[in-house]
A and B are shown apart, each in its own frame.
Chain A
Amino acid sequence: MRKLAALIKHPLRELTSDVDDAVSPERYTTLRRNIIALMVAATLIPLSVMAVLNYYEHQNAMAREIQNPLRVLVNKTKNSFELFLAERTSTVSLIASAYTYAELADEQKLARIFSVMKREFEGFVDLGLIDEHGTQVNYVGPYALAGKNYADQRWFQEVRLKGKYVSDVFMGLRKFPHVIIAVQHMTEDGRTWILRATLDTRQFERIIASMSLEPDADAFLVNTQGLLQTSSNNYGKVLEKLTFPLPPLTFEPTVLTMIDPLGREVFLAYAYFPEADFVLMAAKPRSSSLKTWYTVRGDLLFIFVAGVALVLFAAMRVTDALIRRMKEAEDRRELALREVEHSQKLSSIGRLAAGVAHEVNNPLAIINEKTGLMKDILSIQPDFPAKEKLLVQVDSVLRAVERCRGITHRMLGFARRMDVSIEELDLTELIRETAGFLANEAMHRKVDVQLDLDPELPRIVSDRSQLQQVFLNLLNNALAAVADGGSIMVSAQPDEAGVLVSVKDNGCGMSDETMKHIFEPFFTTKKGKGTGLGLSITYGIIKRLGGDIAVESTQGVGTTLTITLPKGQREALA
């Protein structure tokens, strides 16, 4: 967890730091895992949150979508019921008030009225006139109920009290569910009678059927005692006790979710009748009502899973690409490093080659000596026929050796190119030491070598041994140029760019023609003297060290060679 936190804090830490670390394959694996984890987390967490929220939102919306129509339907149906009952009640009420007691008590008249009623309104089973004492005065209907006294029945008391009564459903004598509507009429003169009609509840069934519910849904009427007023598909027959307790009383149509006695999760929509002792209920199994939701949920799940898969795939691909790029960059860097190391390795091979070039000098030296010896032998020998021709060949061999020497010389020049070592050095000390090497010869030839070295001379960064070679060459040349007893002046001063060193001699000087060629390879005015490294080498070295060399000379007066050297190595020694 802490690791994750750290990762989140510095998601690209792995990418940015430790670039110089050796990158092992394991590190790539870890890096890859971390990047993928990060990318997946960054995309999947919001995606999942959204999916979950969406799921619940959708589910609620879907539930509302299901519940609302159910509620509306229950409300509508309740209204239908109420309308039905009100209509019947007002019909009975109208008849009770439109006719006189006498007319109603007239058997034939009542029979006529009843037949009209039956024609106009469906569901009336019988009609009876009951006097204020509860005695059925007149009766039209299938049963022989005339003369029956209802005075001690509850409905009678209630209709006397309220003026109107709608009964619960009950089984009539014909074992048929019925509802009684009773209306009390009072005339101005204080006479009271009650008109009582029986309705069969087929009408109820018809109203419920008109809800046109799905087969697994169920709608029914219950009274407030929990007795079913109409048959339910699932919760009992008419007049049986409802198999679950009544929901809390509300006249507003309401939907609640519950587990029914069959164990199904159902939406139960219900409404109590304000005017009657009825509750209308409609139950709809959640599973069927949410069928569409389930398909939606399936789609949602599919999209989610597909999204996750896509994110994973993309994360892998992107990470792979990223890692590949990194690897490539790493490889390129390593290749570059390898190149550099190669150059170093190769410079050691260059040294090896230089070694071989040296080796070549050995047979050359032997050939040189042997041929020299043969020449010596020839020259002390009196003439013989082949002598001249042999001498020509001997000289040709000696010349060939000289040419070979030039080649190895050149080759070692290249090899040296590869072999530069740079350090900070004190030029004053270097010049003094180099001059010291030649002190023997100078002393022997009584040449006055003066050093005028500025003590403030800055230290420079350069190649010690190569510079030493340069000064040795310059001093050697100067020594070769001056006559015995001559003088050489070496001076060194700071210059804006670095250091200026000049070697001045009062020797023979040189012609303009000579000056033109002085820096060319293998050019020499000395005959068989010196170390054989000409000014061309000196020139090459100075140029390579980022400096410059100039010559000034007057024949018979002397020569001055001036070298400028930079303080540091400005350029790479390429």
Chain B
Amino acid sequence: MRDAMFMGRLTAGATHEMQNILATIRESAGLMEDLLALGGEGFVHAERFKKGLGVLAEQVERGMNLSEQLNYCAHATEPAPAGADVNEAMRSLVGLTRRNAARRRVSLVLAQGRTGLRTGLRALEAMGLAGLALDCCLGLLAAGAQLVLAVEEQGGLAVVRLDGPSYEALRAQPDFAELEQCARTLRAGLCAGPGGQGLALSLPKPVA
């Protein structure tokens, strides 16, 4: 944990720096667009260049998003006195895992769920737990499938639900034992989703 927090601090610093640099690139791109508009006469490939600038802006945005997620991750190692926002953690997790899912040709969707739910776990712990659950589901889904992650409230507890393959099939996954173990150590509940489809993780309440 100390190691992770150390890494978190370093990563937080690094992502901050990265965002600054990406912002510089964005400014440069903007400036180039202005320059092109003001003194672009005689530039045969102006359109091609402009297109390039558009791509630059897009990619800067993409980089910014990723670095924000990374930044969230970096801070997620710290314990939050009032509890961690489950929705935020799940959004970050989905953001981080989306490409991994895409590589398996599975689209990962975070459902519009209850906001403002908190857990006593560190954000990173919640992410780690849900991440393991995602891994279990991803291993079973066929290409082109959709995996929906939803945050709900049940009896005052934040519940992360994954609408995926049947719970029975999930139990047979190699990662499931690790998921169970992790849920136990984090004192989180793990059970089948409604109708035996998918799974639900109930996260412990904040202490305060």
A/B touching: CB–CB < 8 A? yes
Instruction: In the complex, identify which listed stretch (B67-75, B104-112, B153-161) lies at the interface while the others stay far away.
Output: B67-75
User: A342 near B: Cβ within 8 Å?
Assistant: yes
Residue numbers in B under 8 Å from A346 (CB-CB): 1, 3-4, 77, 124, 128
A359 touches B4 (CB 8 A): no
Residue B28 CB within 8 A of the other chain: yes
Complex: A342 Cα to B41 Cα, angstroms? 60
Q: How far is the CA of A345 from the CA of B179 in the complex (A)?
A: 10
B99 within 8 A of A: yes
A401 to B26, CA, bound (A): 12
Whole-angstrom CA separation of A387 from B127 in the bound complex: 49
Whether A342 contacts B14 by the Cβ 8 Å rule is: no
Assess the A357–B70 pair: CB atoms within 8 A.
yes
Contact indicator A363/B41 (Cβ below 8 Å)? no
- Which bracket fits the contact residues of B? 35 or more
Q: Which residues of A contact B17 (CB under 8 A)?
A: 407
Contacts of A363 in B (CB 8 A): 59-60, 62-63, 66
| Chain A residues, CB < 8 A from B24 | 396, 400
> A129 within 8 Å of B by Cβ?
no
**A311 nearest CB across to chain B (Å):** 37
Flag B1-33 by CB within 8 Å of A: 1 or 0 each.
101101100110010011001101100110110
- Tell me how far the C-beta of A356 lies from the nearest C-beta in chain B, rounded to whole angstroms: 5
Q: Is A252 an interface residue (CB 8 A)?
A: no
Task: Say yes or no: A341-B67 contact (C-beta < 8 A), given A346-B1, A384-B39, A407-B21.
Answer: no
Residues on A with C-beta less than 8 A from B70 are: 353, 356-357, 360
In contact, A356 and B49 (Cβ under 8 angstroms): no
Q: Which residues of B contact A349 (CB under 8 A)?
A: 4, 73, 76, 124, 127-128, 131
> Which residues of A have CB within 8 Å of B22?
400, 404
Q: 1/0 contact trace for A308-352 toward B, CB 8 Å?
A: 000000000000000000000000001001110111011111101
Report how far A342 CA is from B43 CA in the complex, Å: 58
CB-CB under 8 A from A403, the residues of chain B are 21
**With the chains together, A381 CA to B60 CA distance in Å?**
26
Cβ-neighbour of A385 out of B41, B67, B131, B181 (below 8 A): B41
Instruction: Give the bracket for the number of chain A residues in contact with chain B.
Output: 35 or more
Asked if B44 is at the interface of the complex by the 8 Å CB criterion, the answer is yes
**Is B32's CB under 8 angstroms from A390's CB?**
yes
CA–CA, A334 and B44, complex, Å: 70
Contact, CB under 8 Å: A342 / B25: no
Contact flags A363-401 to B (C-beta < 8 A → 1, else 0):
110110011011001100111111101100110110011
Contacts A343-B1, A411-B14 given; does A400 touch B55 at CB 8 Å: no
Q: Is the CB of B43 within 8 A of A386?
A: yes
- Inter-subunit contact B73/A360 (CB<8 Å): no
Measured between alpha carbons, how far is A108 from B140 in the docked complex, in Å? Answer: 146
Q: Tell me the smallest distance from the CB of A399 to a CB of chain B, in Å.
A: 9
Q: In whole Å, how far is A251's beta carbon from the nearest beta carbon of chain B?
A: 89
Are B39 and A386 touching (Cβ within 8 A)?
yes
Q: How far is the CA of A334 from the CA of B184 in the complex (A)?
A: 11
In the bound assembly, the distance between CA atoms of A382 and B44 in angstroms comes to 9
B190 to chain A, nearest CB (A): 15
Whether the Cβ atoms of A384 and B40 lie closer than 8 Å is yes
Contact partner of B42 (CB less than 8 A), chosen from A359, A364, A373, A384, is A384
Q: Are B42 and A393 in contact (CB under 8 A)?
A: no
Q: Are B7 and A350 closer than 8 Å at their CB atoms?
A: yes
- Of A47-55, A143-151, A413-421, A441-449, the segment with at least 4 beta carbons within 8 Å of chain B is A413-421
- Specify which chain B residues have a CB less than 8 angstroms from the CB of A381 in the assembled complex: 43-45
Contact indicator A360/B66 (Cβ below 8 Å) = yes
Q: Do A411 and B128 have beta carbons less than 8 Å apart?
A: no
CB distance B18 to A404 under 8 Å? yes
Given contacts A343-B1, A345-B125, A359-B66, are A404 and B7 in contact (CB under 8 A)? Answer: no
B148 at interface, CB cutoff 8 A: no
Say which residue of A337, A339, A386, A414 sits within 8 Å of B36 (CB atoms). Answer: A386
Residues of the B chain whose Cβ atoms lie less than 8 Å from the Cβ of A574: 3
A186 to chain B, nearest CB (A): 119
Instruction: Verify B131–A400 contact, CB threshold 8 A.
Output: no
**Minimum CB–CB distance for B3 against chain A, Å:** 6
Is the CB of B141 closer than 8 A to any CB of chain A?
A: no
With a CB–CB cut-off of 8 A, which chain B residues contact A367? 25, 55-56, 59-60, 63
- B52 located at the interface, meaning its Cβ lies under 8 Å from any Cβ of chain A in the complex: yes
Residue from B22, B29, B32 whose CB has the most chain A CB atoms within 10 Å: B32
Closest Cβ neighbor of A371 among chain B residues: B56
- Given A342-B125, A389-B39, A373 and B21 touching (CB < 8 A)? no
- In whole angstroms, what is the CA distance A401 to B29 when docked? 13
> How far is the CB of B67 from the nearest CB of chain A, in Å?
6
Q: A353-B74, A363-B63, A385-B41 are in contact. Are A418 and B7 (CB under 8 A)?
A: yes
> How many angstroms from the CA of A383 to the CA of B43 in the assembled complex?
8
> Across the interface, which residues of A come within 8 angstroms of B207, CB to CB?
none
Find chain B residues with CB under 8 A from A345 CB.
Answer: 125, 128, 182
Would you call B38 an interface residue if the criterion is a C-beta within 8 Å of the partner chain's C-beta atoms? yes
Judge whether A355 is part of the interface by a CB distance below 8 angstroms.
yes
A410 CB-CB contact with B under 8 Å: yes
In the bound complex, CA of A408 to CA of B17 (Å): 10
Chain B residues near A400 (CB-CB < 8 A): 21-22, 24-25, 28
Cβ–Cβ contact B1 & A339, under 8 A = yes
Q: Does chain A have a CB within 8 A of B172? A: no
Across the interface, which residues of A come within 8 angstroms of B18, CB to CB?
A: 360, 404, 407-408
In the complex, how many angstroms separate the beta carbon of B55 from the nearest chain A beta carbon?
A: 5
Least CB distance from B94 to A in Å reads 12
Flag if B73 contacts A356 (CB, 8 Å): yes
Interface residues of B in 87-102 (CB under 8 A from A): 96-97, 99-100
Distance in Å from the Cβ of A345 to the closest Cβ of chain B? 4
Closest to A377 in B: B45
> A540 to nearest B CB, angstroms?
13
Roughly how many angstroms separate A417 CA and B77 CA in the complex, as a whole number? Answer: 16
Query: In the complex, what residues of A have CB within 8 A of residue B45's CB?
Result: 377, 381
Q: Please, which residue of chain A has its CB at the minimum distance from the CB of B7?
A: A414
Q: How far is the CB of A363 from chain B (nearest CB, A)?
A: 4
B35 beta carbon closer than 8 Å to chain A: yes
A356 touches B96 (CB 8 A): yes
Chain B residues within an 8 Å CB radius of A360: 18, 63, 66-67, 70
B7 smallest CB distance to A (angstroms):
5
Q: In whole angstroms, what is the CA distance A31 to B4 when docked? A: 38
How many Å lie between the Cα of A404 and that of B59 in the bound state? 13
> CB-CB < 8 A to A387: which residues of B?
43
Q: By the criterion CB–CB under 8 Å, are B7 and A356 in contact?
A: no
**Contact A352 to B131, CB < 8 A, known contacts A357-B70, A370-B52, A384-B42:** yes
Known: A352-B73, A385-B41. 4 other contacts (CB 8 A): A341-B182, A367-B56, A397-B29, A408-B18
- A-B CB contact pairs (8 Å), 15 listed: A345-B182, A346-B77, A348-B131, A349-B131, A353-B7, A359-B99, A366-B55, A370-B59, A377-B45, A385-B39, A393-B31, A394-B32, A396-B24, A397-B28, A408-B14
Could you list which residues of chain A lie within 8 angstroms of chain B, going by C-beta atoms? 334, 337-339, 341-343, 345-350, 352-353, 355-357, 359-360, 362-364, 366-367, 370-371, 373-374, 377-378, 381-387, 389-390, 393-394, 396-397, 400-401, 403-404, 407-408, 410-411, 414-415, 417-418, 574
